[in-house]
Each structure stands twice: as structure tokens, then as C-alpha cells.
Structure 1
């Protein structure tokens, strides 16, 4: 009977340990993501409007909340891919706004089939929902545009459980292949 290869055994055990660790890490991320999604869902259901947050941490904490801001002037008009309230693809019309304190904010004015359809909007009070980016998605839409799809935290993927299962499967596969190789080596 041949000896068990020490170096190969160590390599497989280290690799399997790393894969199991990655699976456990994904399970930890799953729990954090579930808590974050619950926070976002609660924020979305809160109808109380807040002022547009000035700092990045507050913007992240208030994602999916109803908010308002005053756009003193527009420094740039643009568009990005977006969906309207009916789910049709098109162009989300955006404006980079100068706020009263000199800060800037990105506002999604509304939706159209054509890019740069809202180049005439020059500012005012905007009501909407804080979306990732961060940006304020106007609700109601501005400048005669159609309504954008309202940001929904349920659209954020939460696939950490499937990633964890994959890592555990990879570890088990590595161990099974190793055992089969050692058994074949012992026979031959």
C-alpha cells in the first residue's frame, strides 16, 4: 500500500478550507443584505418626505425615501437608459442641479423615447424618490416628460445563498475527487 501524498493532501485541505470559508462569508453577506433590503423596504413605504441629504452617508442611509430638493440652476442636461412607469425602455432625462448651498445633485426629470428631451428645464422644486447613484427620481415627472419607474429595492439582487452553496459544492467536489484519486493510486 502506498503512502498518502502529504503535499497534495495539504493543498486539497487548504483549498477546501478556503472554499468553505468563502461559503460562510457569503452566508454572512446574505444576512447583512437581507437587513439592508428590509431597511430599504421600510424606507420606501415611509411616505414622509425628507430634504435631500447633503452628505454621502445620509444619501445611502435614506435610499428609497421620498425627498425634495430645490434646484437653483442646471449645470448639465443628459440622459441615461431607463424605464418608464409601464416598464418600457427608453431614456431617463437627467439634470445636474446646483443646490442653494452650492452642492450638486443629480435629478432624473422623467422618461422619453428620445435622449435629451428635457434640455429646457432650468430648475425649481423637485419631489421624488432617492435612488442609488445617488439621484432623485422626480415624482411627478417634470418638463412634460412621462413618469420614470419608481426605484424599487426588490430589484436589488440577493444571490448570496446560491454563492454560498456553490462554494460548499466546490469544496465537496475537491474532496471527493481527491479521495477518488487516492483510492485509484492505492489500487494501482
Structure 2
């Protein structure tokens, strides 16, 4: 490569290491995109899968799937956990979680009733839960991710039937309610008669964004090589001017 000046070892090492890091990050993002594709596929398959009894997950939640479960029991009256500042279809609102007491078990199932838009910036009024024995069914999935903890557990300081949370922590809700909760939550199936919106999708970064980040990292790798070449390219000597 006579058209390049001899680079320093530091410049070569910096370029090689930087390029390898950028390429590695690009392939990692592609791998994450494939994982999210598989997650969405399993999620979609679960929505139409045969219904299983709640007893099928007594020994633990299956790590690789989201079963459709059915359970019989009763809703706990006047106990709501409100996940605030949620968005759906361009609207800001809340997601409403309530405890459900299944038959033949001493554990409590936390149920996601769905999304409600705010009314004039205020939380909407909630319809009463149906009394008596109920048969419910939906997807059994991990709870929404725990966000940044600021100020610790806010539930003990709240009174009344409605308690606001900024994330769903099953341990804190179980302690507040005084019962052991199942390790996942149940996303109720859609019901045309319900005021709640139930259009369930995994709360994860979409695969397309991971692929966009991968393209960005690969671009950085190419840029590192181009910059190296430009900095070490031999410049042609200027021809003497003739008068």
C-alpha cells in the first residue's frame, strides 16, 4: 500500500480495536433483534393457544412461553393498583391491576384489567369489580419491568382502595396486600363489553430498532477505517508552478 504513510502502532491498534468493538456491537444488536422476533412470535402464538388451568404453573412459570391460563375464584373488592403514566394509541392513561383469589390455592394472582385513558388529565373513575365467583382467562406473563427506584416502596404510605405505583413490583404489592403472589401477572383476554383496552404486546424494544442500532454500529466501524485511511493517505507533492 504505497499510497499510505506508515502508521504508528497506536493508530493501528486503536483502529483495529475500535472497529472490532463496533462490529461486535452491531452483531449483538442483530442477535437481540432475533431474540425479540422470537419473543413476539411466542407471544402471538400464546394468544391463540389452548387454555390451560392455573394449576399448570404452580411449580413455576415456564421460562420460554406465555401460556393462556384459566382460573376460577373471586376478585378482591376495593383493591386497585394503578400503574400511572401509560400510553396507548397516542393517549396517556393508566393500567389497572387487581388481586384475584383463585380456588384451591393460598396464593394470589395479580390481574391486569387493561388500559384506561385519562379524562382531562385526571385518572378515570373505575367500575366496580364483578362480585362472587368468576371465571377469568388470559396470558400469563412477566410483570412490567421495574423502573428506576426513587424513594423506595411508596405503597405503605397510601390509604384507600386505589394505590398508585410507578412500576409493578410483585414483592411490594404482595407485602402490601399481605399475601404471596404468583410470580407473573395475568393479562385478561379482550372483552367487547369491557371499558378497558386490552391489546397486549410485549413491553420491549421492537426488533426494527435493534436492527437500526446494528446498522449504526456497522457504520461506525466503516467510518473508523475510512478515517484511518484518510489520515494516513500520502499526499501528492505539489508540482512546481511554471511562469
User: Which protein has the larger Cα radius of gyration, Structure 1 or Structure 2?
Assistant: 2
Distance (Å, rounded) in 2 between the aligned partners of 1:115 and 1:95: 16
1:1-188 equivalences in 2 (<5 Å): 3-46=6-49, 48-52=50-54, 53-54=57-58, 57-58=61-62, 60-63=63-66, 65-71=67-73, 74=76, 76-81=79-84, 89-99=92-102, 100-112=104-116, 113=118, 114=123, 117-118=126-127, 124-133=134-143, 134-139=184-189, 146-152=195-201, 157-158=206-207, 159-183=209-233
> Could you tell me the TM-score, scaled by structure 2's length?
0.59
Of structures 1 and 2, the one scoring higher in RCO (CA 8 A, sep 6+) is 2
1:66-124 superposed Cα distances (whole Å, 9 cap, x missing partner) = 3222345639421224578x885433322123444222321023554545725666674
1:117-166 superposed Cα distances (whole Å, 9 cap, x missing partner) = 2566667432233344142233366xx95132231359861122222111
Alignment gaps of 5+ in structure 1 = none
Distance (Å, rounded) in 2 between the aligned partners of 1:155 and 1:9: 38
**Cα distance change on mapping 1:33 and 1:130 into 2, 3 Å:** same
Is the helix fraction higher in 1 or 2?
1
Q: How many residues align?
A: 181
